Structure 1
Amino acid sequence: MVLRDLPLSGLRALVAAARAGSLTRAAEELGVTPGAIGHQIRQLEDRLGIKLVRREGNGIVLTRAAEAALPDIDRGFDALASGMRRLRFERRAETFTISADPSFASLWLAPRLAMVRPALGRLEVRIVASVALETMAEEGVDLAISYRKGAASHIAALDLFTERVIPACAPALVEGHTGPTRAEVLDRMPLLHIDPTMGDDVYPAWRDWFIAAARQRKDIDQGPRFGLTIVAAQAAIAGMGALLASELVLRRHLDAGHLVEIGGEVPALTIKRRLVWPENGPKARRAAVFAAELAAIADIGIDSALPQ
């Protein structure tokens, strides 16, 4: 029997049912319905022409034939899992994986990637969403761009730059105001929120801004919430409310006049973007070189570093 002929779904259902002693519990383990588990096992029985399970009370038991074959099937799945792990390892060996929040990756990192690409030699670049710094090695991440304050002792780090976090809204929401839009307009304006994502647990929220502005508001936690800053920015442009976000994300919209900054008299909140990597990781040396190249670009200037 060749590999393409192996009824893998039926065999997997049989192993799960044998382990759980119940179609219901097997279905929970595999994330399908009990009916699907029963159907897959019946298809396997029809294909083999032999009975594999029988009902007993509220559960199921294996027939003698299935019980005898189960150790070999188990070893087969273990071998497949081992093969997949080896393939993932080989893939990781050929790639340099960078994790960053999508907004930063699309607006800052991606346009500059070609400038620092030579530091990676023949490695292929792979960019993924933020992961917890503690799980970088497990997730196969070679370099993370994060603004978390703390990091485990086995993590090396290099500062990238500090960003201002500012409030902004669509011009239509502050029509009639002359001069800089002051903080008091936010006492009644709808507020848009950015949900913390993995690695973003220190991102300032509206509560932090109102404290910095020495102002109070009862409904400070109410309003639409967004998982991505770039999506929240589009909602702000559409006039849904004011957004507190990194100036890096908002700058192009501010320059184009799609958004206006609010409360410039209030000391700006800041976040420090950092480059972090497992110091004992398989590509630690390459990560250190790549991080230094990125930091050098940041020293030149966030905008001036871009090729013209």
Structure 2
Amino acid sequence: MPLSGLRALVAAARAGSLTRAAEELGVTPGAIGHQIRQLEERLGAKLVRRDGNGIVLTRAAEAALPDIDRGFDALASGMRRLRFERQAETFTISADPSFASLWLAPRLAMVRPALGRLEVRIVASVALDAMAEEGVDLAISYRKGAASDIAALDLFTERVIPACAPALVEGHVGPDRAEMLDRMPLLHIDPTMGDDVYPTWRGWFTAAARQRKDIDQGPRFGLTIVAAQAAIAGMGALLASELVLRRHLDAGHLVEIAREIPALTIKRRIVWPEHGPKARRAAAVAAALLAAADTGIDGALPA
């Protein structure tokens, strides 16, 4: 039995109109009508009839509608159960894509023993107050989390430094001077998922006791790894975690500038629901992550 036709019938019955049913399902009114006609042909029975500008169900369709509704409810319940069973077999870690690809993924083998029989699943950052709703068992974030039942450990401290393409400082006698950034175009990283604690250019200029009128102007990027590529292309100076920039610095694609100003720092933290269904496993994974951090990290300081 085609589920699309049944779904179209239920939506049309609820809306009383093919147009409104189409809006609800995100398709065209023609598609709704076609799906219902296919269902009628399959069943050999008329299900709807025109009533002015709308439609009404036939007596047969009206009698069957409660059972169809219950069927969709049962299907949704079954899908939720399958999703829950899948979550029960996995351990989900949330981290921003830059950190997940450059630091977390290469160290998963060190964390694997702490997972037991669970399979690891890595997802993009989620808000800490939505961890349970999103099925996240542990998050690596710049935030501690405000909820009282959130456990948190400091993973390490990251240096946040200004860097740019070598071509932008060629011929300058003082690339380590703060004046380097008085006129250079600035690239910005937009905070995501509540990480508004991430250092900004405004914070850097304040720490440097310098002023700049256009401090908030310039391209903005949601991902540090994308912003780094823009900096490599010579679009401007980027203020970002040395952990993410290290490989580009080592390769000579970027250079650290304005070194006379002490680097800003920010703590990367491990957080997990203290009373969640996998809290004990999360504590073991957190300990494994701390051990991985102790092996040495370019661009990071001890927690």
Per the TM superposition, whether the score is higher than 0.5 is yes
Contact preservation (8 Å) 2:157, 2:301: no
TM-score by length of 2: 0.93
TM-score by length of 1: 0.92
Over 3 Å counting, the alpha-carbon distance change for 1:27 and 1:211 in structure 2 is farther
Q: Deviation digits for residues 162-204 of structure 1, max 9, x if unmatched?
A: 1111111000011112354322222221111222222423212
Contact preservation (8 Å) 1:166, 1:269: yes
Contact preservation (8 Å) 2:95, 2:122: yes
Q: In structure 2, what is the Cα distance between the partners aligned to 1:122 and 1:162?
A: 31
The worse-fitting range, judged by mean Cα deviation, of 129-138 and 171-180 is 171-180
Q: What is the SS of the residue equivalent to 1:209? A: helix
Contact preservation (8 Å) 1:53, 1:66: yes
**Structure 1 position 305, deviation (Å):** 12
Q: Deviation digits for residues 33-66 of structure 1, max 9, x if unmatched?
A: 2332222222222322222222333432222111
Q: In structure 2, what is the Cα distance between the partners aligned to 1:286 and 1:27?
A: 46
The worse-fitting range, judged by mean Cα deviation, of 121-130 and 13-22 is 13-22
**Structure 1 position 307, deviation (Å):** 19
The worse-fitting range, judged by mean Cα deviation, of 226-235 and 191-200 is 191-200
Contact preservation (8 Å) 2:159, 2:300: no
**Structure 1 position 134, deviation (Å):** 0.8
Which residue in the other structure is 2:185 paired with?
190
Contact preservation (8 Å) 1:297, 1:305: no
Contact preservation (8 Å) 2:129, 2:145: no
Which residue in the other structure is 1:48 paired with?
43
List aligned pairs for 1:64-103, cutoff 5 A.
64-103=59-98
Contact preservation (8 Å) 1:10, 1:40: yes
The worse-fitting range, judged by mean Cα deviation, of 125-134 and 177-186 is 177-186
User: How many residue pairs get matched?
Assistant: 303
Over 3 Å counting, the alpha-carbon distance change for 1:56 and 1:204 in structure 2 is farther
Over 3 Å counting, the alpha-carbon distance change for 1:304 and 1:244 in structure 2 is closer
Q: In structure 1, what is the Cα distance between the partners aligned to 2:173 and 2:122?
A: 44
The worse-fitting range, judged by mean Cα deviation, of 269-278 and 26-35 is 26-35
Q: Deviation digits for residues 196-238 of structure 1, max 9, x if unmatched?
A: 2224232122222222222222222222222211111111111
Q: In structure 1, what is the Cα distance between the partners aligned to 2:300 and 2:204?
A: 30
Contact preservation (8 Å) 1:174, 1:181: no
Contact preservation (8 Å) 1:130, 1:199: no
Q: What is the SS of the residue equivalent to 2:132? A: helix
Over 3 Å counting, the alpha-carbon distance change for 1:209 and 1:36 in structure 2 is farther
Q: Alignment identity in percent?
A: 91
Q: In structure 2, what is the Cα distance between the partners aligned to 1:167 and 1:307?
A: 21
Over 3 Å counting, the alpha-carbon distance change for 1:199 and 1:109 in structure 2 is farther
The worse-fitting range, judged by mean Cα deviation, of 10-19 and 30-39 is 30-39
Root-mean-square deviation (Å): 2.6
Gaps of 5+ in 1: 1-5
Contact preservation (8 Å) 1:53, 1:63: yes
Over 3 Å counting, the alpha-carbon distance change for 1:275 and 1:238 in structure 2 is same
Which residue in the other structure is 1:109 paired with?
104
The worse-fitting range, judged by mean Cα deviation, of 247-256 and 185-194 is 185-194
Over 3 Å counting, the alpha-carbon distance change for 1:176 and 1:307 in structure 2 is closer
Contact preservation (8 Å) 1:149, 1:202: no
Q: Deviation digits for residues 95-117 of structure 1, max 9, x if unmatched?
A: 11101001000111111110121
Q: In structure 1, what is the Cα distance between the partners aligned to 2:98 and 2:288?
A: 21
The worse-fitting range, judged by mean Cα deviation, of 60-69 and 136-145 is 60-69
**Structure 1 position 304, deviation (Å):** 11
Contact preservation (8 Å) 1:100, 1:144: yes
